[in-house]
Structure 1
Amino acid sequence: MRGLRGKRIIIAGGATGIGAATAERLAEEGASVMVGDINVAGAESTVKRITEAGGNAIAAEFDLGNENSIQELVAATVTEFGGVDGLYNVGADLSEPTLGRDTDLLAMDPAVWRRTHEVNLLGYALTCRSVLPYLLDQGGGAIVNTSSNAAWIGEPERPAYAASKAGINALTRHIASRWGKEGIRCNAVAPGLVLGDKPQGDYVPPAYLQVTRSPRPGEPADLAATVAFLLSGDAAWVSGQVWSVCGGMSLRD
């Protein structure tokens, strides 16, 4: 892909799964990658694979639910790489105590909603806010956020998760609209069921296993390829979009 070599990109949630695969793909394309994650051992494993393959990457401990941690991740990227050109937000709280207890509205626990939105939505807003001044100062850059098909399919459960992802879609469009004329592109990807990206404790609705129109479930590399494209120069005229990367699980205009 054109326009990735030499770019400095933050992966906010790169220890495993889609985030790790994207970090590796970007490094293969010649980008320098800051791999941030609360799972620092996982982030270090991702970086080890990248560096052993000849790429350039650094691992950093990072908590998407903590504003100071977010600011430190961006500052570390600027210090280590001399600047930042792009951001991929992929982290989320998918744990059993949070996503696993995200039931219907009558059975809701407000603490689940608060935690979900603090990490999944507010965390993304804060990472974008922290990166934007650097992108604006250099005349532009690219941001990709991770949404979900859950934002529009209307599940009978997981309303907090779905609402957080719908908020990410709105956040993405806001950034693209507000700063597009200043060279900022912002898009989102909405994965379907991606196997190999499910840490222990994640909850996957059984119906998800039935509705994909692809002959196989997704793999982290499927999303990595799309995210790499959206961060690259080849996607210079793509902004404000939420792309379903789901094997046909969701069909929409």
Structure 2
Amino acid sequence: MTDTPVFPDLKGASVFITGGGSGIGASLTEGFLRQGAKVAFVGRSDASAFAARMKDETGSAPLFIRCDITDTAALQAAVAQAAEAHGPVTVLVNNAANDQRHATLDVDEAFWDRSMAINLRAYFFACQAVIPQMQAAGGGAIVNFSSISYMMGNAGYPAYVSANAGITGMTRGLAREFGPDRIRVNALAPGWVLTDKQMEKWATPEALAAHLDRQCLKEHLVPQDVVDATLFLASQASRMMTGQCMAVDGGVVVSG
């Protein structure tokens, strides 16, 4: 972890992260732990070793709950378990996603439904599960991970692109509905973050060079860039920001 700003209001906060045991999600878990937050995270794969390592490295053990986020009842139960352990969830980070590449003409109904279940439906029901807790606590912050892929009009994964456009729309609707309860809901749209998965699957020298050419800032994104933005959106440093989609992409897309 590189040096990062300290957000005092995150100390002791009850944070729930989906997909918090690997990739960008693991960096998010570590980032919140280093702020002094009480972190619970879910993942489909066993992340017990990662949780133990976080305890050794940060001094705080995250609560790992094994859960398939497409199982809505299990996801709701995980949120309840996190609240029982750490108090009402006041920060939700919907991070888990699957950007599997696919061709439009190959998509069948089962694939489409599965993609929506992972990339959009689980986001909604995680929000639904934490909102009553945030209302009871007097407010909270939700950060929904979107993607610049739909802003760029990328081909090669139409179900994923559709879901991410939906995430931004959902974010804006929830921000309007629950703003009176002091619940802020924002979307964060990363650019191409070079995780191990991205490097293994798609980051050819040609693809990396082409994408860097699109960026205003000529450095590749790393997970810490996304962690810092998420901490900002989760904290009172962004207390009057809601219903926004903030791109962290080195300047590929623009809004406004």
Q: TM-score, normalised by structure 1?
A: 0.90
Q: 2:142 aligns to what?
A: 143
Q: 2:65 aligns to what?
A: 60
**Structure 1 residues 110, 202: CA separation in 2 closer, same or farther (over 3 Å shift)?**
farther
Q: 2:3 aligns to what?
A: none
- Counterpart of 1:246 (choices 239, 246, 249) is 249
Could you give the per-residue CA deviations for residues 181-216 of structure 1, whole angstroms, max 9, x where no partner exists?
111000011011111252687556935464233222
Letter in 2 for 1:36: V
Using the alignment, how far apart are the partners of 1:2 and 1:37 within structure 2? 27
Letter in 1 for 2:32: L
Could you give the per-residue CA deviations for residues 4-48 of structure 1, whole angstroms, max 9, x where no partner exists?
01100001111112111111111111110002111223xx24322
Secondary structure of residue in 2 paired with 1:198: helix
Q: 1:152 aligns to what?
A: 151
- Counterpart of 1:38 (choices 15, 19, 44) is 44
Could you give the per-residue CA deviations for residues 202-245 of structure 1, whole angstroms, max 9, x where no partner exists?
55693546423322211111101110111111111111111000
Using the alignment, how far apart are the partners of 2:244 and 2:54 within structure 1? 29
- Counterpart of 1:49 (choices 37, 46, 53) is 53
Could you give the per-residue CA deviations for residues 106-125 of structure 1, whole angstroms, max 9, x where no partner exists?
44333322111111000100
Q: 1:77 aligns to what?
A: 82
Secondary structure of residue in 1 paired with 2:167: helix
- Counterpart of 1:5 (choices 11, 16, 32) is 11
Does the Cα contact within 8 Å between 2:194 and 2:221 map onto a contact in 1?
yes
Does the Cα contact within 8 Å between 2:212 and 2:218 map onto a contact in 1?
no
Q: 1:1-253 maps to which residues of 2 (within 5 A)? A: 1-41=7-47, 44-52=48-56, 53-94=58-99, 99-100=100-101, 102-104=102-104, 106-198=105-197, 206=207, 208=211, 210-253=213-256
Q: TM-score, normalised by structure 2?
A: 0.89
Deviation at 1:50, TM superposition (A): 2.5
Letter in 2 for 1:148: S
Using the alignment, how far apart are the partners of 1:145 and 1:251 within structure 2? 19
**C-alpha RMSD of the superposition:** 1.9
Secondary structure of residue in 1 paired with 2:36: coil
Using the alignment, how far apart are the partners of 1:112 and 1:50 within structure 2? 35
Using the alignment, how far apart are the partners of 1:231 and 1:79 within structure 2? 21
Using the alignment, how far apart are the partners of 1:202 and 1:72 within structure 2? 33
Single out whichever of 224-233 and 210-219 deviates more from structure 2. Answer: 210-219
**Structure 1 residues 112, 184: CA separation in 2 closer, same or farther (over 3 Å shift)?**
same
Using the alignment, how far apart are the partners of 1:40 and 1:25 within structure 2? 20
Using the alignment, how far apart are the partners of 1:64 and 1:11 within structure 2? 11
Report the identity percentage.
Answer: 32
> Unaligned stretches of 5+ in structure 2?
1-6
Using the alignment, how far apart are the partners of 2:183 and 2:53 within structure 1? 30
Does the Cα contact within 8 Å between 2:21 and 2:29 map onto a contact in 1?
no
**Structure 1 residues 122, 202: CA separation in 2 closer, same or farther (over 3 Å shift)?**
farther
